[in-house]
Structure formats: structure tokens, C-alpha cells
Amino acid sequence: MELTVIGTIELFVALALFAFGTVRALFALVMGATLLGGSAALNLTALGGSSISPAHFALGFLLLRCLAPGGVSGANLAAAVRGNTWLIVFVAYGVLAALVLPRIFAGEIDVTPLRGQIRARYGTQLARILAAEPLRFTTQNLTTAAYMTGTMTMALAACAVLRHRPHGGRTLARIGALIGIAHALSGFAGVALRGTPAEALFHFFRNGNYAQLDHEWGVRINGLWPEASSFASFAVVWFVFTFECWLRRVDPRWNGPAALLLGIALITSTSSTAYVGLALFAAVMVLRIATTPHLLPPDRLAWLSLAGLAAIIAVSALLVLEPALAASMQRLLEHMTLDKADSFSGRQRLFWAGQGLTAFVASHGLGIGPGSFRSSSLITAILGSTGIIGACTFVLHVVRAFAPLAASTWSRSCDRDRDVGAAAAWSVLVGVGVASVSSPSCDPGLTFAVLSGSAIALRAGRGDRSRVAARADQPLSRVGAA
């Protein structure tokens, strides 16, 4: 096990917050660390060079702080467990499946490993990207099981922390806006500084062992992340969150600019994942406006209409005044749609997604275990890895977090916590949709965990406000002195 420079810095910060900070401060650290999607805090050389991300590294300190004196009350921990029951079942079955099923179905099908390349000679480039080997138990089964456990732990921690303290919605909204702004600016800076000595800083943060795809198209935005698709997946989720917060007038001075910056980053990213996310959310907004326009604030509807009209006029003017730009946009559109399936990236993604369906059929609906193969779709990854049990429990958790029958899901409730919870719910829904065309693993990730746990917590009844709650979220040193 090797502690990286990033991990060393984070270790000192986490220890300081653990001893002298609050639960909420450590919660903010974990959320902020999700920005470092291409970084590694720990390199596990004994597990084939697998990486532990900074967010997962900080999560351990958050868990200990929640359980320490002055952390989170037992009542709110129990409420968090009840609220995330389906996610707990999903992860429990996933961990068991990762340990057992690859051994049961070993050698029955050929799969592409979750990470790393198959050591073989390839006659063509196509043979290399479509390479597969017989199914077997690997260290990636252990790593994915650990990551899924981290996802469950993060959801429980987010739910418990936000239930336990007042103004949890305000905290989440501000942190989300800051994450969105930082993520967008890092993407713009990565493009602007490419080819300069400052680019070394971005390579410093991309020290994790993560696979990258061949995108075959010029300079793209990936910021601190390993590739443009993962950058876009993260950006879409926080774009939806900040946009919904702005729509519901929750901290609009921060969430409005954050949504604008993220929207620009997604549009200019030339990532098919970004365009899928934007199209999905646009379809959702059109449906909401068409069916229940009275549930959306009139001034926000006016702003959206003006923004849409201005965008149409601006694009039309550019296409008329700059014919070369029109030709370039046409080539880009063809590349992202018609040519996508014929590119190495497109064929590789289709092949990976199909592995999940093959695994589901070969395992008779049980799955072959998380970490057994690489996918490009969360849906097929869950089906192939955890089978019917995993798919059903995951869907039930998403429905529990989204709460389609709750009035706050569809309209502003004038309760800040419920409005932020609804914003988190919409970001979970769109995030799952985006992951369905991009995720390599059945682990939905820490961002999903934070937002789904928050959506459940902020729209549930308040936690214990007794003297235990009054003592909570104090620095550990002060609690010990008391």
C-alpha cells in the first residue's frame, strides 16, 4: 500500500478536522474530494495496483467521526438505515456475489476485465479493444465490493448527518454550488492551459489508475478527470442539482452561476455523455412545463423562455455569419451521432454493454459478481453483476430517493430542506440515466450516494432534537473536555 502526495495532504486535513472540526466539516471534505475523480490517495499494490480515491479515503474519517462522541445520534443512524434499506440489500448481495459468483461461473463465458489489458498479441486494433478472457475471480471483485460498501456507507452518513442537524439543506446547496463552479472552472482551465507548463498540474491530479477511452476527436474538456466522459457524467449531476436549486430559489446567487458554468462546460465538452444528460434533463423539463406549468415559478419560466430564445438567435446568427463554423458543427454532430457507432470508442462501448446481458443470461439471472467485467452501462452492469435481486433492489432505492408521489418533487415547497431534497432527487434520476450509457461498473458511486441519501433525509421527518442532538456536531476535542 502506497500513500500518494495527494493522500498525504488529505490525511493531515482529515485528522485536523476529525480532532478539531465538526461532522459537517468532514462531510464537506468528502463531498469536495469527489472533485478529484482522476486522483488516487492510496495505491494498493497488493491488489494489482488498484487505487483508493481521495473521497473514499476521507469517507473513513467521516464514518469514524459520525460514530465518535458528539457525532450523530443513534436515533438518526437508525433512521438512516431504515431510509436506505434497499441500498443496503443491494450492496450486501453485491458483496456476496463478488466473493462467490465469479468462482461458481468461472470459465463459462469470456469477459473484458474491469481494468487492465489482456496480455495477448492482437492482430488488429479492433481485436485489441474487443478482447476478452474466460471469467475468473480477480482482485477487481474485492475492489468493487469495497467501493460498493463505500457507496452504502456514504449514503448512510449523508442521510444521518443531514437529518441530525438543522439547515442541512442550506449546507448541501452551498457545497453543491461550490463543487459545480470548481468543476466547470477546472475543465475550462484544463483546455486553456493544455500544451503549457501548467498542464503538469493537471497530470499531478490525474495520478489514479483509471482506464481511458480513445475519443478520436480533437481537444476535449476533462479537467481533473481521466477522460471527457467521466468529467461530463459528474458535471451533469451537479448541473441538474444546481439548476433545480436555482429554480426553487435556494441560494440562487451561488446556484445560478454554478448551473450556468456547468451548462456551458457540458455544451462545449463534445462528449456524447454530456449531450445525453442535457437531452434527458431537457426532455424532463419540457414534460414538466407542458403538463404542470403552474407548478413552476412564473419568473423562472420567463427566464428559461428568454434563455432558450436567445440561444436560438445566437446560434442562428453564428451559422449565418460564420459558414466555416456551421461546417465544423455539422462535422461534430456527425461524429457524435452517425459516426459514433463506427468509431473504436463506440464499438468498444457497445461490446462492453452487451457483456452484461450475456452474463445475466449465462448466470440464469443471478449475475456473475461485481468487478467481474467492464461495462459501459449501469443498467447492464447491474444486471450482469448482481442479477435480478440487485436490479430490483437498486430500482426500489432510486424510487425511494426520488419519491415520485411527493408534492415537493414537482413544485417548490417553500421549505428549503425539502426543496434541496427534491433537487437532489432529480439529480439522482438524471444521473442514473446518464450512467446507463457510460458507467463501467455496477457501483453507482459516491456522488449518487450523497445525493440519494440527502434526498431521503431532507424530505423525511426531522431527527432527534434532544440534548443529544444539541451536543452533536461539536469538535471532538470540545466533546471530550465536556
pLDDT for the residue 210: 57
Model confidence at 349: pLDDT above 90: no
Q: How many CB atoms lie within 10 A of CB 274?
A: 29
- Cα–Cα distance, 269 to 267 (Å, whole number): 6
Q: Which residues contact 450 (CB under 8 A, 6 or more apart)?
A: 30, 31, 34, 154, 155, 158
Cell of 87: 441500498
Q: Which residues contact 333 (CB under 8 A, 6 or more apart)?
A: none
- CB-CB contact of 467 with 270 (8 Å): no
Between these two residues, 209 and 220, which has the higher pLDDT value?
220
- CB-CB contact of 368 with 135 (8 Å): yes
φ, ψ of residue 456 in degrees (nearest 5): -70, -45
Rounded to an integer, the average pLDDT of 273-294 is: 88
pLDDT tens digits for range 215-224: 444 567 888 8
Helix, strand, coil percentages, rounded to 5, for the chain: 70, 0, 30
Determine the residue type at 373: F
pLDDT for the residue 229: 87
pLDDT for the residue 163: 84
pLDDT for the residue 353: 85
pLDDT tens digits for range 234-276: 999 999 999 999 999 999 999 999 999 999 999 888 888 899 9
pLDDT tens digits for range 72-86: 888 999 999 999 999
Rounded to an integer, the average pLDDT of 438-458 is: 95
pLDDT for the residue 337: 58
Residue spans per domain, the chain: 2-481
Q: Whole-model pTM?
A: 0.88
Determine the residue type at 281: F
pLDDT for the residue 168: 86
Q: How many CB atoms lie within 10 A of CB 18?
A: 22
Beta bridge partners of 111: 133
Model confidence at 447: pLDDT above 80: yes
Q: Which residues contact 197 (CB under 8 A, 6 or more apart)?
A: none
Query: Pairing relation of β-strands 110-111 and 2-3?
Result: unpaired
Determine the residue type at 406: A
* Residue 117 binned pLDDT confidence (cut-offs 50, 70, 90): low
